[in-house]
Amino acid sequence: MGELLNGKRLLVTGVITDASIAFHVARLAQQEGAEVVLTGFGRLSLVERFANRLPKPAPVVELDVTNTEHLDTLADRVREHVDGLDGVVHSIGFAPQTALGGNFLNTPWEDVATALHVSAYSLKSLTMAVLPLLERGGSVVGMDFDASVAWPVYDWMGVAKAALESCARYLARDLGPKGVRVNLVAAGPIRTMAAKSIPGFEEFEATWTTRAPLGWDLKDPEPAARAVVALLSDWFPKTTGEIVHVDGGVHAMGG
């Protein structure tokens, strides 16, 4: 058992399978001494199955980030398992198929709105929902995908990630006085369930396997998870509004 997160109480969203970055965040966090609560959406039994595969089985709280009632009651429901929080992991993103795969010019606003709501605005709504539990301050860490350029097939999800990055900066500004840090980890592509739902995802694979100076393993979510755990710890006490790239160095390379 490590000590990096000893005594920390964490809420981790986004565990869908054991290939999810969020699953490995939860695993590493427990190994570093944290107490973890997960959230699940939709098939809770599936999330609970993977929660039981963690080093210590973790409780699962239902959360649809577009559901006002879920958000309004989240703090109380989390409090049934822990007496407060020291960290929150936002690993939530979704865009309808019409918003992906090269359909950028034809996507209707309703589908764009869904992508922005679930993938960007939810960082604010989730953070505010659990703010009463962050009495001692703490760390909010979101999962990002570099939004500084336009990627093939990523389309409106790329716009949503740009909104996520901006949202994190504004949250960092407004919550800093409360001792709450807000940072993002921009990970390279991982073959998760979410990634497989993106039409043309293989175009990302070619980019990373040929351009990452440190190399990149599309099947290994642990490097990104380690960065999240580090940002949840006390080792970055004055870092907020930051985007930490864990992508093998691709973001820094020219064409």
- Domains of the chain (ranges plus CATH)? 9-247 (3.40.50.720)
Binding residue ranges for substrate = 95
Q: Which one of the listed residues 161, 178, 219, 238 is annotated catalytic?
A: 161
Residues constituting the chain: 255
Q: Measured between alpha carbons, how far is 16 from 192 in angstroms, rounded to an integer?
A: 9
Residue 202 has what pLDDT?
73
Please name which of 26, 71, 77 lies closest in space to residue 47, comparing C-alpha atoms. Answer: 26
| 164: CB partners within 8 A, 6+ apart | 119, 120, 123, 142, 144, 147, 184
Binding residue ranges = 14, 20-21, 64-65, 92, 95, 161, 190-194
pTM of the model: 0.95
Q: Which one of the listed residues 124, 154, 219, 238 is annotated catalytic?
A: 154
Give the pLDDT mean for 209-232. Answer: 95
Number of Cα atoms under 13 Å in the Cβ half of residue 78: 31
Binding residue ranges for NAD(+) = 14, 20-21, 64-65, 92, 161, 190-194
Q: What is the CA radius of gyration of the chain?
A: 17
User: 161 catalytic, yes or no?
Assistant: yes
User: 154 catalytic, yes or no?
Assistant: yes
pLDDT in tens, 17-31: 999 999 999 999 999
pLDDT in tens, 76-116: 999 999 999 999 999 999 999 999 999 999 999 999 999 99
pLDDT in tens, 186-205: 999 988 666 666 676 677 77
Residue 223 has what pLDDT?
97
Give the pLDDT mean for 53-58. Answer: 97
